[in-house]
A and B are shown apart, each in its own frame.
Chain A
Amino acid sequence: MNRVLLETRALRKAFGRVQVANALDLTFEAGVITSIIGPNGAGKSTLINMLSGLIQPDSGEIFFMGQQITRLPIHRRVKMGLCRSFQVVNVFPELTAFDNIQIPVLAVLGRAGRLLIPLRGETIAREEANAILSRVGLLHASESRATALSHGDQRLLEIGIALAARPKLLFLDEPTAGMNPVERTKILDSIKRLSAEGKTTFVIVEHDMDVVFSLSDRIVVLHHGDIIADGTKEQIRESSKVREVYLGDEVDE
């Protein structure tokens, strides 16, 4: 089971003089739910942005399933099975929920470029899109436009789009932000279930410590672009360094 999915070597990124990634060496293994936490400005988003291809690292290398992907464009990474969701709702607003999901489904099936075949005839894509919709609990809203959905449902759709690309490794950027408790439970259950199925490995950036501790097998703590702790829930809980970062100097006893 301990198969390395993603590996970074000495990944560096600076914005001006601010180091947001300071020679990061990280590995993500299949089946291990990892949370990345840290105070604001710790470099969590930058890390995910580099890994998903949104921004280029200054130096260092990224390997996905043994292949160098450091300079690969976003869509190629997605097709290899490296995908992400966004912290703010980032969907296709005027399309139906179903079509939102269908776009990545068509892409991974390699059918997005078909121009002389009616969309209605794509039964495999339709079934798969419906399966994703029911998985995130949006089947009832499949014909609603994305903008007409509630904020929580839009967040679910957001995750649905990421799941629809059949990712092997999926970064969720604050998946429960702006969700009510019911939706939160729903999404956490889905993540647990999907992770147990073993097709997708989740890496989560989250501020909510309840979510982090209920979900993670492993926690990585970032601070000013450095990894200051990396281990199981218990190890992180007991780490004095982590306490220091989160609670400030008061912990000095």
Chain B
Amino acid sequence: MRRYAIPLLAFLILAALILTGIFGSRFVVYIAMRVMILGIFALGYNLLLGRTGLLSFGHAAFYAGGAYGAALFFLHVQKHPLLCITAGVALALVLAVIIGFFCVRHTEIYFAMLTLAFGMMVFSLLWNLRDITGGDDGLVGIAREPISLGFASIPLVKPGQYYFLVLVFFLLSLGLVYVIRQSPLGLILAGIRENDKRIEFAGISLKNYRLAAFVISGGFAGLAGALGTLLNSNTTPFSAHWTHSAEPVLVSLIGGLQTFTGPLFGSLVFVVLREIIERYTQNWMLWFGIILLVIIMGFRGGIAGAISELLGRKTPSAVGKEGGRP
């Protein structure tokens, strides 16, 4: 029975996601897309935090890189949505290589502070380069053109249509992160988390592999940013703000740092809770803080850790160990 629990759960969630796209109200579809986009952001981010053990406070810069990359490509080059998304991811990757080059030389608090500093630099660039980025207005009028395949074209204008593009990218990201976690690189990154002094004596270039994790997670942030731009039809400089950088950190913490599915649960809770709390009070941060406190103190392995404990699974593999330290 337990052996089938995980595939069954995955199948049910997938079915629910597809049904949401077909039958969900505009609002539900919109929320679901936001959950998936934040999910992509956090999944990639958790490769860096949960797997490699590096705490970055600047990943909003790469999200914004994806967002502005896609928007600028749309406004100045080509309106094809897939090309826009590709351009966004490419810009995020370039940014991650440049910023990562400087940051991965340092660890712990120095690393975190450097990423924060670079993130704020990107924010102020977006804010001040009005001619290119639109300043505080951001870039507007990013329409969702149909995806033309020559013989046919897939419309994306309605949220219910765009939903499935987001779903496809969400599933692709899920698959890619899963594969990376099971790969040799995934093991090396876990080794860096476990003992970054010893890893070099195992013949691993610490800097290069840290950079790899940084750039990969930056790429996922860029994908999330590009999808977010197409969802909202605009960009805002606040997507690069450090408060936005905190989102994947919180989401990973809520969901479970050492787990694959943790960031997904975290994203769901984050977006839905915020939506609910905001209906009743302006101070959603206060209530959210309390809930976060309960989760962190109550379930050290996050939501995913708690669920796998419920299912009675004990550390299936040490690399992707469930539960674990916060």
Contact = CB atoms under 8 A, between A and B. Distances in A.
A215 to B, nearest CB: 22
Contact of B184 (A86, A96, A117): A117
Contact of B318 (A83, A96, A164): A96
B210 to A, nearest CB: 12
B184 A112 contact: yes
B200 A78 contact: yes
Interface stretch (A39-47, A98-106, A192-200): A98-106
A165 B321 CA distance: 26
Contacts of A84: 201
A103 B200 contact: no
Given A94-B194, A115-B186, A145-B318, 8 more contacts: A94-B190, A95-B187, A103-B202, A112-B185, A112-B203, A115-B185, A116-B183, A119-B182
B212 interface: yes
B197 interface: yes
A52 B324 CA distance: 33
29 contacts: A74-B201, A75-B200, A75-B203, A75-B205, A78-B201, A90-B195, A90-B198, A95-B194, A95-B319, A96-B319, A99-B190, A103-B191, A103-B199, A103-B204, A106-B184, A107-B202, A107-B203, A107-B204, A112-B185, A112-B188, A112-B203, A114-B184, A114-B185, A116-B179, A118-B179, A118-B183, A122-B184, A164-B202, A165-B203
Question: Which of B191, B315, B324 has most A Cβ within 10 Å?
Answer: B191
B190 A95 contact: yes
A74 B321 CA distance: 29
A104 B15 CA distance: 42
Question: Which of B183, B184, B194 has most A Cβ within 10 Å?
Answer: B184
> Interface residue tally of chain B, by bracket?
20 to 34
Question: Which of B188, B190, B212, B318 has most A Cβ within 10 Å?
Answer: B318
A93 interface: yes
A217 B186 CA distance: 42
Contacts of B191: 92, 95, 99, 103
A116 to B, nearest CB: 6
Interface string A183-203: 000000000000000000000
Nearest to B318: A96
B249 interface: no
A118 B182 contact: yes
B205 A73 contact: yes
Interface residues of A, number: 41
A113 B212 CA distance: 9
B183 A115 contact: yes
Contacts of B205: 73, 75-76
Question: Which of A84, A90, A94, A117 has most B Cβ within 10 Å?
Answer: A94
Given A96-B318, A99-B318, A117 B183 contact: yes
Contact of A75 (B204, B317, B321): B204
A135 interface: no
B248 to A, nearest CB: 20
A73 B200 contact: yes
B286 interface: no
A21 to B, nearest CB: 20
B301 to A, nearest CB: 13
